[in-house]
Chain A
Amino acid sequence: MSLSRRSLLAKVGATLAGVLAAPIARTAKAAVQKVLVSTGAAKGYDPTKHKWAMAIDANRCIGCGLCGEACKKENHVPEGPYYRTWIERYIITKPRPGTGAARGETLVDCPEGGMHGFPPAPVAKEEIQHSFFVPKLCNLCEHSACVQVCPVGATFDAPDGAVLIDPKYCIGCGFCIQACPYGCRFLSPATKTAEKCTLCYHRITRGLKPACVEVCPTQARVFGDLKNPLPDDPIQQFYQNNRVQALKPHLGTEPRVFYAGIDKEVR
């Protein structure tokens, strides 16, 4: 096959045009998303100018459950076993003497999503080696398994880092719920569509904090905009002051919700 100059030029030109078109297409996509998708964002909000992130300091969490309750109320999460955020309690017991084990059992519970606090520990205080609370929410994965498997693209990565669902588009197949490794999604009995934490998108796009962050009495939940850091930004401070962990890193989902002060037993 011979390649004439004219055709070579055309090919190079086409490639260049393609390369140039990519960012334009991406911006156009964001613009279309802004118009068409029912995200609850404020008018005039530009998702490309922000990058939201949440971090959780488990050392600070006292398991009061206010965040869970606030989330249910703020987002009208259906009654029953449906949660956009919840709090787990981990109790790791001391090993039985003579077993040669480093630790005993790991007991995890989360009554009613931890929304109303926790009952007294099921083991005596002297037998506990470690006990701590872990608030959970959508992990805002960089490579979200849920977005990958959605057959119609109803769930998508917003340019500002939130993983959202268009309820008018979701067909309710439940594939994303199966694909989320963290159990963060549920099929709403009311709308028959998938639902999840949106970082309180209707709030953050209006300059407010997510409800769970707002009510946390100990600032265990830290929220911020990575593209527009404030002076003494709490999230930047969190990254600086802690060595952080993500949940289930072996799955390659690259969560953007970082944890400090959790244990290997946390999954």
Chain B
Amino acid sequence: MTSEITNYVFEAMPHFEGYVYPNEATQQPLWGVLIVLYPYITGLVAGAFIMASLVRVFNVRALEPVYRLSLLTAFAFLLCAPLPLLFHLGHPERCFEVMMTPHLTSPMAIFGFVYAWYLMAVLLLELWLDYRRDFVEWSARTAGFKSILYRLFTVGVTDVSEPAVKLDHKLGHVLSIIGIPSAFLLHGYVGFIFGSVKANPWWGNVLMPIIFIMSAMVSGIALCVFNYMVLSWVRRKTIDMKCLDVMCMFLFYALVVDAAIEALDWIHRVYSAEEGFQVMQYMAREKLFYTLNLGQATLGTLVPFLLLGSLQLFRRHVPELGRRRMYFGSALLILCGVLAMRWNVVIGGQLFSKSLRGVMSYKMEFAGLEGWFMGAVLFSLPFIILTVMIKLFLSEQKPK
């Protein structure tokens, strides 16, 4: 009933203010919530991978307990990353044309290759190299279906002699090093899809790929913090506070850099006040007031910045429980804040006319391809995959 009334009111309200090109006067923006989720999920992948490589490449030993969790997180989300993009296509059955006959000047075409490279050559291989010895061991220790499954995952390479394992480690290390620029490339490219649109002053911005990479790192680390804390809670295990402190230290520094770059972007926009600035001002004040000022800037950046920042200074004076709550709260806020940021970029960029003379309204529906429900399903999917993988690959006993 309520939704009927709101729908009715929305229908009665003018959807457009000022002048919009007639082709822009559609009920829904061309790119809806699915395209909001696409950079969000891809960003979580890149961030979680960077988190894992802190252990592998930068030798941050304190983060050892979350190494595998963050790799699995990256993998689960990577599997789901192209789904929203695929579902929103007018002709999803033609999606392979992007790989078969790519148009090389298109940012979207190259994304397919970057994605495939990242999935096949980096993440899958790194996970396999890291897990191979365990697969061999587990396949011998377990019985039935699980044993067969683990044996399948070894792909027949069951040599667990010292030199073979050493080689695994060495290759894994090399892959991690390749993986870092690949993760940057993956998400930088997503940023470039928007940053390359010069027709849209909200998107066409040289800083866009960097903003996307930084916010990806922030959101990915926050997701790892969230997953680690939830997993420990579910398994009734004590949280390794040293690991959590270090994770959140990196989260804080990534947040500082991210906030600085985004602030720089805004300062530049305000100062140069180029064509279209007026409509952008209007967007920030009216159309995106809650998601931009409240969601992205205040709750998603400022509050976690203060929480995490104060913990950097006064960590010793805050009891463990308080610290845990502050970390958990910050991680959640950051996750929501980055989602708001993706919303502001994707939806915000389509709420004003390219004639720069008018704005559109958007009310998300519940059902339908671009509705709440579909978005929620697509966003739960990686968590479901992750749960299965944790069950299979993250045994409750201490590894090794």
Interface residues of A (CB under 8 A from B): 80-83, 86, 88, 106-110, 112-113, 136, 145, 148-153, 169-175, 177-187, 191-193, 250-252, 267
Q: Which residues of A are found within 8 Å of B102, using beta-carbon distances?
A: 151-153
- Taken together as a complex, chains A and B put the C-alpha atoms of A252 and B198 apart, in Å, by 10
In this assembly, does B105 line the interface, its C-beta being within 8 Å of a C-beta of chain A?
yes
Give A112 to B22 CA distance when docked, in angstroms.
7
Q: Which of B94, B200, B349 has most A Cβ within 10 Å?
A: B94
Closest to B90 in A: A172
Report if A251-B94 is in contact (Cβ < 8 Å); known contacts: A148-B105, A153-B103, A175-B108: no
A241 shortest CB reach to chain B, Å: 28
In the complex, which of the residues A110, A173, A187, A250 contacts B22, with contact meaning CB atoms closer than 8 Å?
Answer: A110
* B106 contact from A112, A174, A175, A183, Cβ within 8 A: A175
Closest B residue to A183 using CB positions: B21
A152 close to B98 (CB less than 8 A)? yes
Contacts of A174 in B (CB 8 A): 30-31, 88, 90
The distance in angstroms between the C-alpha atoms of A88 and B355, with both chains bound, is 11
Within 8 A of A (CB), among B86-126: 88-92, 94-95, 97-98, 101-103, 105-109, 112
Give 28 A-B contacts (CB < 8 Å), ordered by A residue: A81-B22, A83-B23, A108-B19, A109-B19, A145-B197, A148-B105, A149-B197, A151-B98, A151-B109, A152-B101, A169-B94, A169-B97, A171-B91, A171-B94, A171-B98, A172-B90, A174-B31, A175-B106, A178-B349, A181-B354, A183-B21, A183-B354, A183-B355, A186-B26, A187-B90, A192-B91, A193-B91, A267-B355
Q: Which residues of B contact A252 (CB under 8 A)?
A: 198
Contacts of A179 in B (CB 8 A): 197-199
- Apart from A136-B21, A173-B108, A193-B90, list 11 A-B contacts with CB within 8 A: A83-B22, A107-B19, A108-B19, A150-B103, A152-B101, A171-B97, A174-B30, A178-B30, A179-B199, A181-B354, A186-B26
Minimum CB distance partner of A146 in chain B: B199
Determine the chain B residues whose CB is within 8 A of the CB of A148 once the complex forms: 105-106
In the complex, B357 has a CB within 8 A of chain A: yes
Kindly list chain B residues whose C-beta atoms are within 8 Å of the C-beta of A187: 30, 90
Nearest residue in B to A156 (C-beta to C-beta)? B103
Please judge, given known A-B contacts A81-B26, A148-B106, A267-B355, whether A178 and B97 are in contact too, CB under 8 Å.
Answer: no
Judged by a CB distance under 8 angstroms, whether B205 is at the interface is no
Q: Chain B contact residues (Cβ within 8 angstroms of A): what range?
A: 35 or more
| 3 closest cross-chain pairs (CB), A and B | A172-B90, A183-B21, A192-B90
Q: How far is the CB of B55 from chain A (nearest CB, A)?
A: 36
Docked Cα-Cα span, A83 to B26, in Å, equals 12
Residue of B nearest to A180 (CB): B199
Interface mask (B18-33 → A, CB under 8 Å = 1, otherwise 0): 0101111110001100
How distant is A159 from chain B, measured CB to nearest CB, in Å? 17
Known contacts A82-B23, A172-B90, A174-B30; is-contact A149 B355 (Cβ 8 Å):
no
A251 in contact with B198 given A81-B23, A171-B90 (CB within 8 Å): yes
Determine whether the beta carbon of B196 is less than 8 Å from that of A183.
Answer: no
Q: What residues of chain B lie closer than 8 Å to A184, measured between beta carbons?
A: 23
Provide the bound-state CA to CA distance between A196 and B262, in Å: 36
B356 adjacent to chain A (CB < 8 Å): yes
Indicate if the CB atoms of B97 and A181 lie closer than 8 Å. no
* Chain B stretch 21-54: residues in CB contact (< 8 A) with chain A: 21-26, 30-31
Bound-state CA distance A174–B91 (Å) is 11
